[in-house]
Structure 1
Amino acid sequence: MRALSRILIGGLILATLVWLKGQFVKLHESILQLDRLSQDGGLLSHTHMTDNTHGSNSTAEDPLRAVMNAISNSFLNGTIEKLATPKSGLRDTRSKVVVVAKTAKEKTQWISSMLPNWKHAIYVTDDRTAPLHTAKNKGREANAYLTYIIEHYDHLPETIAFIHSHLSSWHNDQNAAKALQLLNIDFVQKNGYANFRCHTTPGCYPAEIQPFRNKKEQAGIDKHEAATERAFAKAWTELFNSTAVPEQIGVACCAQFAVSRDQVLQRPLAHYVWFHSWLMETSLSDATAGRVMEYLWHIIFGMEPVYCPKVYQCFRNVYDIWDILS
């Protein structure tokens, strides 16, 4: 009798383990499916994407990434609906466009499906056969940004958002789609410029670019930052025809921002054409030229050389979020 009991208990345990394994497999498959949707932007889409080739291999190879993305993106729609105000990018009806710089291999399906109420202009920097492309692959995202302004100067929408191609990244305070849908359009129109990143490191405190830092001090900073500093004074003089180079230039990284049409039009088209010509013809490397422009956008669009609002103030202004204390 005791032996029979052990057999029954053992069988029950085995059956339970088999059942649990089956449930885990189903859960894992559901997570992978959620991740594929989130990478395509399907969780906010009115019409789901049908491209089955996107991202499936990398997702299957990294279940942890799948779990994290599935969890964060599955709550995205509800979070936006809860937080969005009438003047946010989700609800505001004024004309707006998101301008994106990408390489041919980068996936940007999330933009059209997660931002159905934004027009979009996606420039490919390394494929001249793409519908929208840059003249050459130089200057990082600055090339695409300037190309859009030059091509659309006479018929710009009221709000233009310039972003990178990825949905999530270390230098985004939040999911890029969430940032665009929560963007306070009233603030963009009033201020003329809004940086999507509110956290001030890197870029501020201390100011990232100090063109007149001595060589000993410069030896202690990041090599890319040092290269940008060494190039900055000469670039400033060439770009603005001015020797009044600021002693400090600071802004929260990393060249993702929104501007108003009126602010863009504060400069004549010839300025943007010149900036683009400089970018294409400078002897600076692709990375250094792009970084120089990264720390000039806020100045080009009317802000002071050091533009570093407090984190809480930035969230209040840019996203109309008031519960950020730090």
Structure 2
Amino acid sequence: MLQSPLTRSRLRNQILAAIIFLTLIYFSLNNLLPAIRYNVVPYRHPILLDNAHSNASLETTTTSPTVHLVIASTKADDTSWTSRLTIPNLTILRYISDDPSAPFHPPKPKGHEALIYFTYLHDFYDALPDLTLFIHASETPWHVEGTLLRNTSFALSNLNLPQILQQRHYFNLRVTWRAGCPAWIDTTKTYADYDEAEEPFMAEAWRANFGAGEPVPETLGGPCCSQFAVTREAIRRRPREQYRVSRDWIVDSTWSDAILGRVWEHMWPRLFTDEASDCGHAERGSLCQMYGVCFWSEGELEGTRSCGRRGRG
């Protein structure tokens, strides 16, 4: 049966309306489902509102700082991912521990990242940028929290550099407290009675690096894993000689690489802040303030650890 022009017009309008409706449904779901699936939370933590406003002012009134990215690596490591970083005024310095012909290398392949860091601190003392980032070579190490996608490039790209420059001066890139705060290491432990392998070595390492007259704290606390950011001012709180002493101590030590790296893992806060503990900033607050990854409550943050979700501010 032939359709009248009016019927055909109505059919076309119905088809057009259906297409528009389906298109709207598609775009709505495409934008809403990721938020539902990953629990995206677009807000700033209420406790940090004043700091957030202060930091926004810093970001708009200051020029981009100069930044060095110091990478502790071996020849076998793939660090090509660093070329995708978009940090302004960034200079990448890849230290290769097992290649003495590399442009940047430590005196020996020893002490894990610690010897590389001290080599840089000594050699660049008079030519430091505004901020130096010290990291390991892997883009996806376990050291980076799941809330930061276990991805170093994601963490560095979202890192709040003005906050470090103007307020913190030293910032451990890992903010999880669970294994480190308020007290992780007991420096009174002996070789016959210890929980962490480095504990019996801590008191001797402390005195060797900070002086025989330096009181050794009974406990040390802070997030792990020797990846951090430090300002030029924090580095120069100590004389260049301090970094030469610590560099040479690692070179001359008979301790294993693992122990040398791990004792320093607990002493970086003392070196740059004069504090034995780095437990003054809560995990949830640091995630929001320093990375823009925010959660409504401690319970919500705890829930992401078991299901892999993340929040964002």
TM-score between both structures, scaled by the size of structure 2: 0.70
Corresponding residue of 2:169: 192
Equivalent residue letter for 1:195: N
Residue number among 155, 158, 178 corresponding to 1:179 in the alignment: 155
Matched to 2:93, the amino acid is A
Matches within 5 A, 1:204-223: 204-205=181-182, 207-213=183-189, 218=194, 221=195
- Are the equivalent residues in 1 in contact too, given 2:85–2:157 (CA < 8 A)? no
Asked if 1:288 corresponds to 2:259, the answer is yes
Letter in 2 for 1:304: E
How many angstroms does 1:204 deviate by? 2.2
Show CA shifts across 1:53-108 (max 9, x none): xxxxxxxxxxxxxxxxxxxxxxxxxxxxxxxx7867xx961111111100110100
Q: What pairs with 1:77-226 in structure 2 (closer than 5 Å)?
A: 93-115=64-86, 117=88, 118-173=90-145, 174=148, 175-189=151-165, 190-205=167-182, 207-213=183-189, 218=194, 221=195, 225-226=196-197
Give the whole-Å Cα distance in 1 for the aligned partners of 2:214 and 2:235. 23
Return the letter of the residue paired with 2:285: Q
Q: Which amino acid aligns with 1:318?
A: M
| Greater alpha carbon shift after TM alignment, 263-272 vs 298-307 | 298-307
Q: Which residue of 2 aligns with 1:318?
A: 290
Shift of 1:269: 0.4
Q: Measured at CA, do residues 159 and 107 of structure 1 come closer, stay the same or move farther in structure 2, by a change above 3 Å?
A: same
- Counterpart in the other structure of 1:230: 200
Q: Secondary structure at the match of 1:253?
A: coil
Residue 216 of structure 1 deviates from its aligned partner by 7.3
Matches within 5 A, 1:66-81: none
**Where does structure 2 lack aligned partners over 5 or more consecutive residues?**
1-55, 299-313
1:261-272 matches, within 5 Å, as 261-272=232-243
Residue 5 of structure 2 corresponds to none
Question: Which range moved further: 309-318 or 259-268?
Answer: 309-318
Contact 1:115 1:177 in 2 (8 A): no
Q: Distance in 1 between matches of 2:57 and 2:68?
A: 18
- Higher Cα Rg, which structure: 2
Q: Which runs of 5+ in 1 are unaligned?
A: 1-84
Matches within 5 A, 1:14-93: 93=64
Please report how far the alpha carbon of residue 316 of structure 1 lies from its aligned counterpart in structure 2 after TM superposition.
3.1
Query: C-alpha distance in 1, partners of 2:153/2:168?
Result: 22
Conserved in 1, the CA contact under 8 Å of 2:174 and 2:225? yes
Aligned length: 238
SS at match of 2:124: helix
User: In the alignment, which of 263, 270, 279 is matched to residue 250 of structure 2?
Assistant: 279
Once residues 159 and 235 of structure 2 are traced to their aligned partners in structure 1, the CA distance between those partners, rounded to angstroms, is 18
Task: Give the AA of the match of 2:180.
Answer: G
Whole-angstrom CA distance in 1 between matches of 2:57 and 2:171: 18
Q: Which has the higher contact order (CA 8 A, sep 6+)?
A: 2
| C-alpha distance in 2 between matches for 1:180 and 1:298 | 20
